[in-house]
Amino acid sequence: MAHTKKLLRSLAGETQTVPPVWMMRQAGRYLPEYRATRAKAGDFLSLCYNPELAAEVTLQPIRRYAFDAAILFADILLVPQALGADLWFVTGEGPRLSTITNAEGFAKLKRADDIHDHLAPVYETVKILARELPKDIALIGFAGAPWTVATYMIAGQGTPDQAPAHKLRIENPAVFDALMDRITQATIAYLLMQIEAGAEVVKIFDSWAGSLKGEAFTKYALQPTKAIITALKAKYPHIPVIAFPREAGDGYIGFAKATGADCVALDNSVSADWAAANVQIDGCVQGNLAPRHMVTGGQDLIDETKRIVKAFSGGPHIFNLGHGITPDANPDNVQVMLDAIRG
Ligand code: CP3
């Protein structure tokens, strides 16, 4: 069946004169209505686990900008929490988790199929969205990739170089591999439930893939993503998957073919011309405007947006930023970007 939703048409391989567009972190702190709803929920995690309010913040950027896709409001760190890790957010700093550094810590984790009671509110959010989204807007579910999730579970917070995770994978590969496998299995179970609840596309965020090089990239970024996609496709072959091995560089080449992803999301460290020649030749790509343009605006934003649209105009493309929009972004600049894309 031919798709009518713009996002699904690009994911099915169609080249469109005006690409579909959405933004990473489109529901977020740069929007006053998001901040108001978060205050109503109490804090960020309470918002994630409140289906009515999580659906509301998912819909806010759709109402304001008519993006072509809505992304479920949740966080990649809800999976570690469902596996039994403590999780909290320090305002102005970011996430904190209890750490896993040895076999004793690993042994305390729950089994991969024991996560669903904890995550039930997320599935409820997806159900509300599947019901309430405008008919032409696609619904994206998501999860973190095992390596990125593992870096937070091992270090207990974000780290500039992911050193604690690299140390564990080298010094205690048995525990590290067991942890990667547990996260992989939980992520498959989690994404299958999102699809059953109504997600039409899923995205796998490997935000720290860039610190894996050579064989380690293949083993800990490419292989786990492939395992997840293979399991999802076995049950739902028609649900497209977007993979985001952020800052993979040359690792973007062939990533879609090797993993079975329908689309590769590009960060803004690679040029659009390079990516069109080396990555888009295999199919749909997403990206890759630098998020800082949403802060700085002006003619630079318009020129750069048009340059990216043109660079990817020869094949299937979903316009997006190269990473999440930041809290200091000016909401007016988002409209400037949309006008430059849609004309
Ligand atoms: O994109 C969306 O609008 C959907 C919701 C979404 C959030 N986080 C909400 C969020 C998605 C898809 C994510 C993914 C996520 N979460 C990633 C992968 C993508 C990336 O940005 O690289 C990662 C690494 C996380 C973990 C995480 N969550 C961090 C490191 C932080 C703190 C840093 C920050 O940006 O605040 C969060 C918090 C978070 N997740 C916020 C939002 C809207 C801000 C929390 C707040 O409102 O105070």
Structural domain includes residue 110: yes
**From the CA of 30, how far away is ligand 1's center (Å)?**
13
Q: What is the CATH number of the domain that holds 76?
A: 3.20.20.210
Domain count of the fold of the chain: 1
The residue contributing the CA closest to ligand 1 atom 45 is 44
298 lies in some domain:
yes
C-alpha distances in Å from residue 286, one per residue of 33, 52, 179, 262, 308: 27, 29, 30, 11, 11
Which residue, 45, 57, 17, 111, is CA-closest to 343? 17
pLDDT of residue 2: 72
Tell me whether residue 2 is in a domain.
no
Task: With respect to residue 163, please indicate whether it lies within any of the assigned structural domains.
Answer: yes
Residues in the chain, pLDDT under 50: none
Catalytic option among 38, 169, 182, 246: 38
What does each C-alpha distance from 338 to 267, 273, 284 come to in angstroms? Answer: 19, 21, 20
Q: Using alpha carbons, select from 152, 165, 323, 164 the residue that is nearest to residue 246.
A: 323
The pTM of the full predicted model, rounded to 2 decimals, is: 0.97
Find all residues with CB under 8 Å of 165, minimum gap 6, and list them. Answer: 147, 150, 151, 154, 155, 159, 176
> Can you say whether the dihedral through the CA atoms of 230, 139, 340, 11 is positive or negative?
positive
Residue 207 belongs to a domain: yes
**Is there a catalytic annotation at residue 220?**
no
Q: Which residue lies with its CA nearest to atom 39 of ligand 1?
A: 75
Answer yes or no: 38 catalytic: yes
Q: Count of alpha carbons within 13 Å of 314, Cβ hemisphere only?
A: 11
Residue 1 lies in a domain: no
Give a yes or no: residue 128 inside a domain. yes
Catalytic-labelled residue, pool 34, 49, 152, 190? 152
9 is catalytic: no
Annotated catalytic residue within 49, 65, 75, 220: 75
For residue 26, which atom of ligand 1 is closest to its CA? Answer: 3
Q: Please tell me what DSSP assigns to residue 42.
A: S
| Annotation says 111 is catalytic | no
> Is 130 inside a domain boundary?
yes
Q: Which domain holds residue 41?
A: 7-342
